[in-house]
Amino acid sequence: MRYSRVGSSGLVVSRVGLGMMSYGDTSRRAWHLDADAALPLVRAAAEAGVTFFDTADMYDQGASEEVTGTLLREVFGSRDDYVLATKVYFPTGDAPTSRGLSRKHLHAAVDASLRRLGTDHIDLYQIHRWDDATPIEETMCTLDELVRAGKIRYPGASSMYAWQFAKAQYTARAHGWSGFVSMQNLYNLAYREEEREMIPLCRDLGVGVLPYSPLARGFLTGSRTRGGGRSTVRGRSDPLAEEHYTDDDFTVVDTVAEVARERGVPPAQVALAWLQGRPGVVSPIVGVTRPAHLDDAVAAVELELDDAEVRRLEAPYRPHPVLGHG
């Protein structure tokens, strides 16, 4: 395993981040794993050197945070041995105040996350989306309050427009508040719109990029066919995959498969290796429900593609509508 700083901050994470959304209540989603089923995978990840674990308060109605906290306490000897990330914004209840990025909700949400996670601090606390209803000054000031209170160590952000991210960072800097150290955005070989504005901005500001959905919800691994076939449980129950990726993107999938065959490795390793080599990328966040998923993610850290392979993989790309901000 390799390790990198998150942008220009002092936070160090493994070059593979384990997404914990797959772990929770199996009655709500067929592809979820409960704590007992997830434990061997999280233990194997730790043994492979993974130290970065990402969840959110709205994943599985809070069950993901509960399972995450339980698993990490079981696997790691010390709280200082891993980096714990979670997110806030989406509704966690029926009340109008149980959502968004207001001072009221941020304070209530972080305390609820800390209880579910069973810890006294969150290493990376990320706003899950932009909140049009709350002044950005209120949000950034509150995040700084949480840093000063010791409840969070670093603020981070997830999908939004580059102008919004620039506004947030400028607001924090102008007031001497803690700014975002990371951007968790949708980025993979089949969706590269973030290269136009967001990633250059992050590199300029010293912000680390933590891509989610690095395998395009399994699309880049060959889990879908042009005829509409689905080879995985999640693929058969994931409507967003149909919305995000269309028949126009299968040329990218075909090229990934070709390079993988030539290399003698699974397509997932090629797609992840490409992402590992992109400027600004610190740690792709991968979902793992089988040992092979983890093996591919770890192997991709050491798989170096040559310039010709990179050009082949990038050539078939076609622009997409902007995704992931809603």
Is 325:184 a contact under the CB 8 Å cutoff? no
Distance CA 63, CA 1 (A): 29
Distance CA 68, CA 87 (A): 13
Distance CA 164, CA 161 (A): 5
Burial, 169: exposed, middle or buried (Cβ in 10 Å; 0-12, 13-18, 19+)? Answer: buried
Q: What number of H helices and E strands is found in the chain? A: 11, 10
Q: Which tokens in the block code for residue 23?
A: 């772990």
What is the DSSP-derived secondary structure letter of residue 45? H
Q: Which tokens in the block code for residue 177?
A: 């508040």
Encoded amino acid at 120, one letter? D
Distance CA 323, CA 286 (A): 19
Q: Which of 76, 164, 157, 79 is nearest to 114 (CA)?
A: 79
* Residues 6 or more apart in contact with residue 144 via CB below 8 angstroms: 155, 172, 175, 177, 178
Is 84:124 a contact under the CB 8 Å cutoff? yes
Encoded amino acid at 325, one letter? H
Distance CA 324, CA 235 (A): 18
Q: Which of 116, 87, 84, 114 is nearest to 99 (CA)?
A: 87
Query: What residues act catalytically?
Result: 59
